[in-house]
Chains A and B, each alone.
Chain A
Amino acid sequence: MEKQLLLGDEAIALGAIHAGLSGVYAYPGTPSTEITEFIQTHPEARERGIRSRWCTNEKTAMEAALGMSYAGKRALVCMKHVGMNVCADAFVNSAITGVNGGLVVLAADDPSMHSSQNEQDSRFYGKFALVPILEPSNQQECYDMMQEAFALSERLKEPVLLRIVTRLAHSRAAVVTGEKRQQNAFSPSTDQWVLLPGIARQKYAALLEKQGAMEEEAEKSAFNRMEQGGNGRLGILACGIAYNYVKEAIGKEGHILKVSHYPLPQAQIQQLAHENEAILIVEDGQPVVEQDVKAMLGTGYKVLGRLTGHLPRTGELTPDNVAAALGKKCSTVYGKAQNVAVRPPQLCQGCGHRDVYGALRQIIEEMPDARVFGDIGCYTLGALPPFKALSSCVDMGASITMAKGAADAGLRPAIAVIGDSTFTHSGMTGLLDAINDNSPITVIISDNLTTGMTGGQDSAGLNKYEAICLGLGMDPAHLHVVTPLPKNIPAIAELIRQEIAYEGVSVIIPRRECIQTAARHAREKAKAQKAQ
C-alpha cells in the first residue's frame, strides 16, 4: 500500500496497470489524454510490456482492444466522449460478441464543453449497448474501480463502460494503491465471434439474458451505497462526482443514495422513494437517470432534477448549483468585477497555422463567396479574430466532406482546412470520395508533425502525407508542400488562388513543426547531449 497524489486520469491508468492490463488503445482527446500518457511513461507498464502506442482513431483503438480481449488478455480503450461516436459500431457490437479477456472502455465526458463541441452523456451508450457502467466519484474510486471493472468484465464476459467527467479527470487527490494482479495468459477464444444474422441473434439473446446478472451485480455493488438521514421530505440520488457536491452542501444531514454502478440499483431506489416524499436526482451530464427514475416510479411520484429546473438543464454541476437545489443559500460577498475581459485561447505566436490563415484571410477578402470548412484542432481557433476564417467545425474529418458536399451543390471556392492528425483520424476516406468524384475543392492539410491541441502526441501519418494522398489517387500536379512562415504568406496565397481555379481536387500541405513540440524536442536534445 502506497499513497500517491494523482489526477483522476492517472488513478485510472495506475489502477489499470495494477489490474493486470496488457494493452491500452486510445486516440488523444481532452479530458482523457493523460490516462494513456501515464501508462506510456510508467516504469511498471514498461516492465510488464503493456502495449500503449497511440492509435489512429477511436474505432481502430476499440477494435484492437477487442482483438486483445479475444486473445485472452485485458485491454483498455480510452477516449473523450465524442470518441464514443467514432467507435460506436465496434463498441455496441462488442457487447454482442462478448469478451474473453477483460475489456474496459473509458469515456471521459466534458459537461460545460470546456474543450469539446457538445456535452453528450456516455451513459446513454452504455445503456444502448446493454453493458454495465461504472462512474467513480473520486480519485480513489477511479483507482479501485479499474480492478473491479476488469473483474466484472471477466465475470460477465462483457465489456464494461467506465464513465468520468472533466472535473474528475483533471483533479488531483491522494490515492492509496492496492494489490497488483498478474496479467492474463495468452488464451484465444474458441468461440465464434462471427456476427452473421443467425449467430448474432443467438448472441443478442444471450446478452439480454445477462441483464439480470448485471442488475444483481449493481444491486450488491460496494460502489452503490445508502446513507440514512434527512427528515423524509427529500431523498437524494447522487451519481458519480455529484455525490461530492451533495456532501459538500449538506454533510451528514441527508438521506443519500450514492450510485456509481449501473444498471440502476432498482431495489435501493424503490426504498429511497418509499422513505421520502420526493427524490432529487443529482447527476453530471444529461438527465439520464432522472428519466429512468421518473419512468420507474410513475407519474404520481415527485422526481426533481435537471428536467424540472431544480438543477440547470445544461452545463456541469458545481458546489453552487447543487447547494441551491438542496435549498442552501450561496453566500457571495463580491459581485463580478467591472474590469475583466474575456481572454480566449489563441494560436501561439510563431505557430505555422497562423501563416496558413494569413494567406487564407487574403483569399476570403478577395473572394467573398469563398467558404472555408474547418476541423478539430488548434487551428479551429482560426474561426476567432483576427482571422475569422472558418465557416464550420463539426466533427473529426468533416472539413473535407463538407467542402465536397457544398461544392457538389455549386459552392465555389470550397476550401477545407484540416490538421495532419485529424486527417489520418477521419479525413482520408473523405478525400477518397472527393477524388473519386473529381470534386472541385482545395484541401489544406496543415501539418505540424504532431497532435498539437492535446499536448503534442504522435501523429499517426507522420512523413506519409504525400504518399497517402497519391495512394488515394491524387493528381501529383495538384499536390503541393509549402513552408508556413510569415515571409511565405504571399506565395501560399498565390498557390491557393491557382488551385482554386482548378476544377478538381487540390491538396496543399503547409508543413512546419508545432513550436511547442519543437521547443520540447530541442530541450530533450540538449539534455541528451549534456548526459553524454
Chain B
Amino acid sequence: MKKDIILCGVGGQGILSIATIIGEAATKAGIHLKQAEVHGMSQRGGDVQSNLRLSTETIYSDLIALGSCDLIISMEPMEALRYLPYLSKDGVIVTSNKPLVNIPNYPEEKKLFEELAALPHVVQLDIEQVAKEAGNARGANVVLLGKAARYLEIVTPEQLREAVATIFARKGEAVVEANLKAFDAANEG
C-alpha cells in the first residue's frame, strides 16, 4: 500500500507541523516515509508545499509524480487547486474554505469555489471556525489534519491522534489537550 500526499498552503500556516505529526504516526507504525519540504525564501507569505510519501514498500523518489497524488491537504482553497495536475483519478482534496488574500490578483472567489466543487472528491471545512469553537484558535492546522484523518488509510485516525499527543508533549499537557480537542473536533474516524 502507498499514499502520496501533498500538504500545501501559505508560508506560516503550519503545514510542516501536519507533516511532522503524520511522519511520527507513520514511523511508529513501521511505514516507509519520504517527505520533501520547502525551506528558505518561499516561506515568506508565498505558496509552500510538502510532498509526503508513505508506503509499505521501499520509496525511491522524494517527489510525487504528476497524476499520482492520493490526497491533497490544503490550508487554503486556491493553494489546493495549484497542485491539481498531481492529483490521481480517485485522489481526494481536503481543504480549508477560507481564502487567504495577500496578492492583488487573487481569483474571483465564486469561480474558485465553483471549480473546486466541480471536482469529484473534495472536502471543505472552515478550519479556523472549528478551531475557535474547540477553544484552540491556533490549532486550525490540527483541525485540518483531523478532517483528513480518515482519508490517509495507511495510518489510522487513532494512530494520528497518538502522534498529535507525542509531538506536542514537550510543550506541556495543556497544549496536548488543546490540540487533541482540535483534532477530535473534525475527525470523523
Contact = CB atoms under 8 A, between A and B. Distances in A.
Given A170-B39, A320-B66, A345-B43, A338 B115 contact: yes
Contacts of B108: 339
B45 A345 contact: yes
Contact of A172 (B37, B38, B84): B37
B185 interface: no
Given A115-B41, A340-B107, A343-B103, A171 B36 contact: yes
Given A167-B63, A338-B111, A174 B33 contact: yes
Contacts of B38: 114, 170
Interface residues of A, number: 50
Interface stretch (B85-93, B148-156, B173-181): B85-93
B42 A333 contact: no
A34 B40 CA distance: 11
A454 interface: yes
Given A172-B23, A345-B11, A30 B39 contact: yes
Given A5-B27, A339-B111, A346-B45, A333 B89 contact: yes
Interface stretch (A119-127, A242-250, A500-508): A242-250
Interface string B88-131: 11010000000000111111100110010001000000000000
A128 interface: no
A307 interface: no
B145 interface: no
A244 B87 contact: no
A251 B46 CA distance: 36
B61 A245 contact: yes
B132 interface: no
A185 interface: no
Contacts of A241: 62
Contacts of A43: none
Nearest to B34: A173
A88 interface: no
Contacts of A5: 23, 27, 33
Interface string A52-90: 000000000000000000000000000000000000000
A174 B31 CA distance: 10
Contact of A244 (B45, B61, B84, B119): B61
A453 interface: yes
Contact of B67 (A332, A338, A342, A454): A332
Interface in A127-172: 167-168, 170-172
A171 B35 contact: yes
Given A320-B65, A339-B81, A348 B44 contact: yes
Interface in A408-456: 453-455
B111 A171 contact: no
Contacts of B61: 244-245, 247-248, 319
A192 interface: no
Contact of B87 (A323, A333, A342): A333
Interface in A334-358: 334-348
B45 to A, nearest CB: 4
B65 A330 contact: yes
Contact of B37 (A115, A170, A320, A378): A170
A318 B86 CA distance: 12
A385 B81 CA distance: 24
Given A319-B61, A330-B67, A337 B37 contact: no
B23 A345 contact: no
Of B27, B42, B59, B61, most A-chain CB atoms within 10 Å: B61
Given A241-B62, A341-B106, A346-B46, A333 B35 contact: no
Contacts of A245: 60-61, 63
Interface in A151-207: 167-168, 170-174
Contact of B84 (A167, A174, A334, A347): A334
A15 interface: no
B63 A337 contact: no
B142 interface: no
13 contacts: A30-B39, A170-B36, A171-B36, A248-B65, A332-B66, A333-B87, A334-B84, A339-B107, A345-B11, A345-B44, A348-B44, A385-B104, A453-B40
Interface of B: 10-11, 23, 27, 32-47, 51, 59-68, 78-79, 81-82, 84-85, 87-89, 91, 102-108, 111-112, 115, 119
Interface of A: 5, 7, 30-31, 33-34, 114-115, 167-168, 170-174, 241, 243-245, 247-248, 318-320, 323, 330-348, 378, 381, 385, 453-455
Q: Top 9 A-B pairs ranked by shortest CB distance?
A: A345-B46, A30-B40, A337-B81, A115-B40, A339-B107, A248-B61, A171-B62, A319-B65, A171-B36
